[in-house]
Amino acid sequence: LLAQWGRWRAASRAVSPHPAAPALPPGATGPSNAPRRFWGSYRPHVYFGMKTRSPRSVVTGLMWLQQRDGAELRHTCEQSDGLRRYGWLLHDGERFGLQDIHDRGLLLRTEFVKRPGGLHGGDWSWRVTGADGRAALVSLFFYVATDGQGELRPQLEDGTRLAAVTGTSEELGDFKIAFLRPTADDGEDVKYSSFHYLDAWSPGLHRLTDVVRSSLSDRFVFAPPDGPRQRFVAVDAFRGLPGTAEAPRSHLLLHQVTLRLPARVEVTFESGSVRERRAALLGPALTAELARHQAAFERRFEETFGLERKGFPPSQRRFAQAALSNMLGGMGYFHGRSLVRSPLHEQPVPYPESSLFTAVPSRSFFPRGFLWDEGFHQLLLARWDPELSREVLAHWLDLMNAEGWIPREQILGDEARAKVPPEFVVQHSETANPPTLFLALRRLLGSAPLPYLRRLFPRLRSWYEWYNGTQAGPLPHTFRWRGRDADPERFLNPKTLASGLDDYPRASHPSADERHLDLRCWMALASQVLAEAAERLGEPAELYRQAERALSDNELLERLHWAEELSAFADFGNHSRAVGLRREAGRAAPGRPPPAPRVVRVVHEAPRPRFVDALGYVSLFPLLLQLLRPDSPRLGAVLAAMRDERRLWTPFGLRSLARDSPLYMQRNTEHDPPYWRGSVWVNINYLALRALHGYANQPGPHRELAARLYGELRHNLIGNLYRQYAESGYLWEHYSDSTGRGQGSHPFTGWSALVVLAMAEDY
């Protein structure tokens, strides 16, 4: 019985919240305590939309449709839309933003500006300006939708034009959203436009596109008095979603304007609790507000990063502004439950309901929170707005369970869930991810108010203890990522998703004897930062200092991780240096059709305990996190490997795996192309620059070499990211080590936006 009780208790701890007081006091992010950040563009997965930082927020959004054959309704950011470019060019993370969207011949500019006042986050206005070289017919759809609570009431003009929506909700009180008549640049009404509206219910926000799509009819004719007639598509009656039995949850009111461009449409949100309103935020008043915010942004950008001072030309400064702005404009507010599996659960179980305010790696492909990405994001955002960064950090720490674990990928709510294939949804409660929040915390420590730190501290300590307790390695002062791929026969090298470096080569045969160098270095950093935090708070710090000393002891580091045969630092484990993939005919069962051939791993040399013969990002960790002493006898070899073109050096940045490494650019299965096996990744290159800058500024035998590498690497990285942006319109997830071309998902203004800090030389 006791054993059973113990199991039950352990299982329930996996999905129980951490017992410490939350890092964010209750209500801290609501309209009374943080009115300036209540409304925001916190729906990074749509091209343009806003919501409030509340669990079941009323949302607003934009869709559009070019009225020509084969054109698609645009709404959520999809790579398959093939947009030439889109993203926030200016965004201050709080009050104002400007985005350009290039869709075939169409250019849409979306702008918003907020005006504080009242008790519910104030007012805001939108302006959407469209231009099109071919004066083609375009429809813009503006919508308001509820998410399980609140009430919306359509205000019709002439029975067809949705002129406004009035409403009430738990977080907003009373409000009114007005859709103004389209105007030309000079503010005059456009000559002819056509209006339609939709009033429908959806099973949830994740089905809004479907609801609109299934309400479209092509029976309409655009008939301006002095122009050609044209058939077009508009919302008609909602005919229901085929095959859904889901109960209605979202009330949707949508206003469609169809017109020839150029034209612009403005939308105003007015909060019922704003008592004295000077004038509506519209027309010339809106133009003036937008201009004022734009000027303030430019000034603050220069004060913060000094790129003009450093001599960057305007085009490169705009690139850097866009990188920062799209990270800020990509911030989301998510609410829901993760799905978690612990070793004690047979089935995944729901994690406690939680809210997360976070930046995201990619608005199109990964519009949700990722733990180790966030530490990198906050290196940049902490410079722009330390208070914002502190809030994000606190949100993440409040996701901790009773054991001290934070789930790696945050898929919260129906909209987030709808983007992820089911096999990727479940988070495993033994799986870690690099504790990069410590990286960000170190940047914030100096200016963080003590009461804030004090609230964070118990959680930081538990998090740290969780790593020490669950990711310990086979020997003292070693560490091992848990949760490597379970079925080694399926992969050339079983992946280590926990490390963040997914398919980076590790020991070929996962075992309890592995020692992972990157994790060891991350733990040295964590110990260091935790010690600093403890000292600032007057808490006992000696244990963390001891750990820091042991983990940064260069002799011990060498004994555990220096591979003489590689002349590099490395992982250790049960490893074969000769593995390959082979296509095998499936074994036919009698009387059955022959099964498809499958690819299996073959091991040509028996594995044995040894260092892993991979030279790449992992080998650099003692340098990346500056644990290697400037006078270390190994520093020269590490720098040489970095600078060597047959190994890590490329004209575009450092590649992830040496060109002469056995698994360089090898597929992991027939379906898994190489990922961290050669490409240039910006987060690690940023760490490399930071470290080189550090070594260049300390006395030591390699000081000059470090300075030279620093200059060259910075030049290469910035030059390539800028070139790729200018050519392709995007920042990318990673870059080809042979051509420099952007690869993977885009836009990716998660850690690739660290290029701004590299330009600013802000480490």
Active-site positions? 502, 733
Q: Using the rule CB under 6 A, which residue among 176, 341, 419, 577 binds ligand 6A9? A: 419
The token pair at 725 is 């942006």
- C-alpha span between 494 and 509 (Å, rounded): 8
Q: How far is the CB of 502 from ligand 6A9 (least distance, A)?
A: 4
Q: Choose between 117 and 369: whose C-beta lies nearer to ligand 6A9.
A: 369
Question: CA 719 to CA 408: how far, in whole Å?
Answer: 32
CB burial class (10 A; 0-12, 13-18, 19+) of residue 147? Answer: buried
Q: Which stretch binds ligand 6A9 (CB under 6 A): 130-138, 247-255, 397-405, 420-428?
A: 420-428
- Residues 476 to 505 in contact with ligand 6A9, rule: CB under 6 A: 500, 502
Pull the structure tokens for residue 471: 């990711």
Rounded to the nearest whole angstrom, what is the least distance from the CB of residue 733 to ligand 6A9 in the complex? Answer: 7
Q: Residue 76 and residue 209: Cα distance in Å, rounded?
A: 8
Q: Candidates 150-158, 163-171, 316-324, 362-370: pick the segment binding ligand 6A9 (CB under 6 A).
A: 362-370
Q: Which window, 174-182, 416-424, 535-543, 715-723, contacts ligand 6A9 (CB under 6 A)?
A: 416-424
Residue 608, judged by CB atoms within 10 A of its CB (0-12, 13-18, 19+), counts as exposed
Span near ligand 6A9 by CB under 6 A; candidates 40-48, 80-88, 370-378, 710-718: 370-378
- Residue of 126, 197, 372, 562 interacting with ligand 6A9 (CB under 6 A): 372
Pick 421 or 538: Cβ nearer ligand 6A9:
421
DSSP 586: P
CB of 367 to ligand 6A9, least distance (A): 9
Q: Are 414 and 433 in contact (CB under 8 A)?
A: no
* CB-nearer residue toward ligand 6A9: 190 or 418: 418
CB of 731 to ligand 6A9, least distance (A): 13
How many residues are present in the chain? 763
**By CB neighbour count within 10 A (0-12 exposed, 13-18 middle, 19+ buried), where does 275 fall?**
exposed
Which helix (DSSP H) or strand (DSSP E) does residue 96 occupy?
A: strand 96-103
Nearer to ligand 6A9, 188 or 423 (CB): 423
Distance CA 576, CA 630 (A): 34
Out of 184, 295, 420, 450, the residue judged to bind ligand 6A9 by CB under 6 A: 420
Instruction: Pick the binder of ligand 6A9 from 167, 329, 361, 747 (CB under 6 A).
Output: 361
667 forms part of the interface with ligand 6A9 (CB under 6 A): no
Stretch that binds ligand 6A9, among 49-57, 245-253, 366-374, 700-708 (CB under 6 A): 366-374
**Cβ proximity to ligand 6A9, 252 vs 682, nearer residue:** 682
Does 450 participate in binding ligand 6A9 (rule CB under 6 A)? no
Q: Where are the beta strands (DSSP E) in 483-607?
A: 562-563, 568-569, 572-575, 579-584, 598-603
Out of 88, 143, 222, 370, point to the residue binding ligand 6A9 (CB under 6 A): 370
Stretch that binds ligand 6A9, among 11-19, 108-116, 165-173, 365-373 (CB under 6 A): 365-373
| Residues in binding contact with ligand 6A9, number by CB under 6 A | 13
**Contact (CB, 8 A) for 677 and 664:** yes
When asked if residue 373 is in the footprint of ligand 6A9 (CB under 6 A), the reply is yes
Give 181's Cβ-side CA count (13 Å radius).
Answer: 11
Scan for tokens 């085009």, then name that residue: 315
Q: How far is the CB of 751 from ligand 6A9 (least distance, A)?
A: 8
Nearer to ligand 6A9, 370 or 621 (CB): 370
* Calpha distance 763→443 (Å, rounded): 9
The SS3 call for residue 8 is helix
Site string for ligand 6A9, 424-443 (x = CB under 6 A): x-------------------
**CB-wise, 396 or 695, nearer to ligand 6A9?**
396
Maximum pairwise Cα distance, the chain: 86
What is the rounded distance in angstroms from the CA atom of residue 133 to the CA atom of residue 139?
A: 16
Q: By CB under 6 A, what part of segment 703-762 binds ligand 6A9? A: 750
Pull the structure tokens for residue 414.
């129906």
Residue type, 469: G
357 bridge partner residues: 333
Pairing mode, if any, of strands 59-66 and 49-52?
Answer: antiparallel
Q: Binding string, 375-414, against ligand 6A9, x = CB under 6 A?
A: ----------------------------------------
Q: E strands of 296-348, at which residues?
A: 332-336, 339-341
Q: What is the DSSP letter of 755?
A: H
Nearer to ligand 6A9, 55 or 750 (CB): 750
User: Which residues bind to ligand 6A9, rule: CB under 6 A?
Assistant: 361, 365-366, 370, 372-373, 419-421, 424, 500, 502, 750
